[in-house]
Chain A
Amino acid sequence: MEQEWTGRWNHAISFLQGVCKILVIGAGGLGCELLKDLALLGFKNIDVIDMDTIDISNLNRQFLFRAKDVGRAKAEVAAEFINKRVPGCNVTPHYDKIQNFDEAFYRKFHIVVCGLDSIVARRWINGMLIGLLNYEDGELDQSTVIPMIDGGTEGFKGNARVILPGLTACIECTLDLYPPQINFPLCTIAHTPRLPEHCIEYVRILLWPKENPFGGVVKRIIPAVASTNAVIAAACSTEVFKVATSCCLPLNNYMNFNDAEGIYTYTFEVQKKEHCLACSNIPQTLSFSENNKLQDIIDYLVESLAYQMKSPGITTSMNGKNKTLYMQTVKSIEEKTKENLKKTLKDLGLVDGQELYVADPTTPSSVSFKLNLGSSMEH
């Protein structure tokens, strides 16, 4: 079939078509828009990863899906639709988790675009792209930088940002931009509920896991709006286009959008964090006293604004052997190491300067911390 016609590429630049490989992460509300935008900008080699299947409730904004597609993989349906509607565009779907792909896979792409609703997944991809960087004599080899364009929406608010791993602020540098969820005190929801929200939280936290009436989990969400997804995906795709063509300087490096009252955008540069866990190359230290328990370290990694980990597991090296101090993610190991949580760092045989390796779902590779047993609880 003839796939070219006069005027088709008057809007874009033909350079994009053969060379550039783009990875889109997420085929939901943002993902559908991103795929459409990138295809119409003239990108031809696009991969898309999504682990979800289509639910009927998606149809009011995820415009590549129809009622007949309910139950099928989002990535596959989205790819089929785009490939059919935009002849010559080649979207390759991956119905899978991002965690199931290795470095060699991610290294194939020139640009990664994220349309995710999960902060953990964003942090994981960020960690992966930073892991691909090569440093020679402390100098970053710029050919190993894969730009990450990240979009996020919630109701009438959204943001778009451009991350050049190793060069500009990364997701971990700005973790405090994602404020921890408001959690009502357990005693309020159990004993002195006052608001409808308290009752819903009671069901969500205490009753649902016990009774599990329909299977599945209850999520706390602000309804997504088609128009906000369109705006943010469009801004992200424009940035992909700029990075790919150098037609003008990319966004430096964060844009906020809100159209609840009038239309408001605010564009500014978020700063790299000097001691960033992911991109600074500065060893992280954990300061505790030898009388602190292992549980204290775990709690700190979860609760501190700088780390916000989800279920950290800690290993160390003792007498030349690897020793798992605690691991939550594998049940048999969890049971064997549970006792360690109550032990003091001294009893565990940990010394000042000890290296701890922390694994967590928020990062693809474990992070090493130096244990500082000098003083008390100063972090």
Chain B
Amino acid sequence: MSDRWWLDKLAMHMPKTHFIRLWGDHGQSALENARVCLINVTATGTEILKNLILPGIGSFTIVDGNKVTGEDVGNNFFLTKDSIGESRAKVASELLSELNEDVSADYVEEHVENMVQSNPDFFRSFSLVIATNICERTLLQLGENLWNMNIPLLICRCYGFIGYMRLAVKEHTVIESHPDSVLEDLRLDRPFTALVEYCDSLDLETMSKKDHSHTPWLVIIYKYLQEWKKTVRIRKNESGGLEEEENFDEAVNHVNTALLPTSVPSEVKKLFDDPSCTELNVESKPFWIMLRAVKEFVMNEGNGALPLRGTIPDMTSDSKRYIELQQTYRDQASQDVTIVTEKLQTLLQSIGRGELVSVSNPPSPISNLEDEDSDNETVFYVLLRTVDKFYEDYNRYPGWYNDQVESDITKLKSCMSKILQEWGISANIKDDYVHEICRYGAAELHTVASFIGGAAAQEAIKVITSQFVPFNNTYIYNAMKQTSVTIEL
């Protein structure tokens, strides 16, 4: 054993700590307990699994009743030439499991069409089901089953240069959204007692030059706010000019955002009034119960304000006073937390529950796609649905046979008008798009699959960990122009 064996030990844990920095150890543990089901071994499907196995999901199960064909191997990294003729589910699950030995792998060699009919309860044990290349009829049935079991369903499809993804979650609540930029919560307009006491304990007039130039700007703004109506005196240097003090410059720069009035955002007010919040019962999700506790805080102890966040931004200061100021905010915040926690306990008791995430609406039928010309990518949604209609009518995809591309264009156009008529919308979709879709011949291009494979895996992680905000609810990627759009259907 080398004398640096402990370094290797440390390194063993590194792959995990790497992700803990992004989604925390509770996020990682949610991931490690997740059971993911993949329907059909497509390039898109195996790429999604690859990106979930690497960071360490608990287990995966592949459902696929097909045998490996030459064409499958042509665009899928997790099938090999030697395995042509074997079970796709088996081969892919073996090659994928090489990526991370901590992840348990399983497969079921059966067609999903049969599973949905004969054994719908099979899916009950999963935290997430991912369906790729699944026909519309089976999808509708599977979707309904999973919806009723409250299991999230992620549907992915890559068709030529177009990628498509749809997330069906009955309700998804996010507590840790990890927003990129937020306004501070400083309460300078309505300072809490401890903050008043702390600021009053500091006297800008009598402190040494060093202390003066290291006073946090928050305190400076507070002071000047109190003296606003009186004469404002700014310290002059020996020659009578203004001192150059970075902290005073910072105070001037931050005064705009630091003095925003404290209020409850309108979105939050809306949630407060949601029946799920006002009428709690034993089935209520933790999110709504917590929200209700917060609401009661706002109405009582909070005097119309949310609990204090308890953080302050970095600012020029000596260490001692920065920490003191930070502590003042933290203490107030933890007082608020204590009150909310007490309310939570009372609420839990009142609805008869012991233990303790949602912003969603049920997927409406697709009939509300009225703004068909607004985005290019939205057009592809209509086209993908048209292709399904084509498949239903002719039992093959348009452009599948090279010599039929021309005649398929005409057929596809008539499918499209039927669909648009069914939906009762008049869309003006250019012929170019119809030609393009025929040109694809339902080919799954590896790089489009790989793009969606990355994006879908990340969305799956969001759903599993209840962290970061997932897309809502339909995503279309156009690899021709490298553009994409998210639409809510």
What is A's interface to B at a CB cutoff of 8 Å? 5-12, 33, 36-37, 40-41, 55-57, 59-61, 63, 66, 85-87, 155-156, 160, 188, 192-195, 214, 223, 225-235, 237-239, 241, 248-249, 251, 255, 259-265, 267
| With known contacts A230-B47, A261-B469, A262-B486, A156–B458 Cβ distance under 8 A | yes
Query: Which residues of chain A come closer than 8 Å to B486, judged between CB atoms?
Result: 262-264
What are the residues of chain A within 8 A of B470 when measuring CB–CB? 262
Given contacts A194-B326, A234-B450, A265-B483, 4 further A-B contacts (CB under 8 A): A60-B15, A60-B19, A261-B180, A261-B469
5 A-B pairs with the lowest CB-CB distances in the bound complex, closest first: A230-B454, A7-B71, A231-B454, A234-B450, A234-B451
Complex Cα distance, B160 from A248, in Å, reads 12
Give the residues from 1 to 31 in chain B that come closer than 8 angstroms, CB to CB, to chain A.
Answer: 4, 7-8, 11-12, 14-16, 18-19, 21-22
**Docked-complex contact A11 and B22, CB < 8 angstroms:** no
What's the minimum C-beta distance from A191 to chain B, rounded to whole angstroms?
Answer: 8
User: What is the bound-complex CA distance between A33 and B21, given in angstroms?
Assistant: 23
When the two chains form the complex, which single residue of B179, B323, B475 contacts A263, counting CB atoms closer than 8 Å? B475
Sampled A-B contacts (29; CB under 8 Å)? A8-B70, A10-B71, A11-B75, A11-B444, A40-B75, A40-B446, A41-B445, A41-B446, A41-B447, A57-B14, A60-B16, A63-B99, A156-B458, A194-B315, A194-B326, A195-B314, A230-B451, A231-B455, A234-B453, A234-B454, A235-B451, A237-B450, A255-B483, A261-B469, A263-B455, A263-B475, A263-B486, A265-B477, A265-B482
Q: Please report B residues at the A interface, Cβ cutoff 8 Å.
A: 4, 7-8, 11-12, 14-16, 18-19, 21-22, 43, 47, 50-51, 54-56, 69-71, 73-77, 80-81, 84, 98-100, 161, 177-180, 214, 314-319, 322-323, 326, 443-451, 453-455, 457-459, 461, 468-472, 475, 477, 479-484, 486
The answer for the CA separation of A233 and B51 in the assembled complex, in Å, is 13
Taking CB atoms, residues of chain B closer than 8 Å to A9 are 74
Distance, CA A61 to CA B468, complexed state (A): 20
Shortest CB distance B312–A (Å): 10
From B51, B55, B450, B468, give the contact of A261 (CB < 8 A).
B468
User: Is there an interface contact between B447 and A241, defined as CB atoms closer than 8 Å?
Assistant: yes
CB pair B74–A7 under 8 Å, yes or no, is yes
Which residues of the partner chain A approach B458 to less than 8 Å between Cβ atoms?
156, 225, 227-228, 259, 263
B319 touches A229 (CB 8 A): no
Nearest A residue to B319 by beta-carbon distance?
A: A192
Which A residues are in CB contact (< 8 Å) with B453?
A: 230, 234
On whether the beta carbons of A262 and B15 are closer than 8 Å, the reply is no
Residues of B within 8 A of A86 (CB): 77
Complex CA–CA separation, A233 to B445 (angstroms) = 14
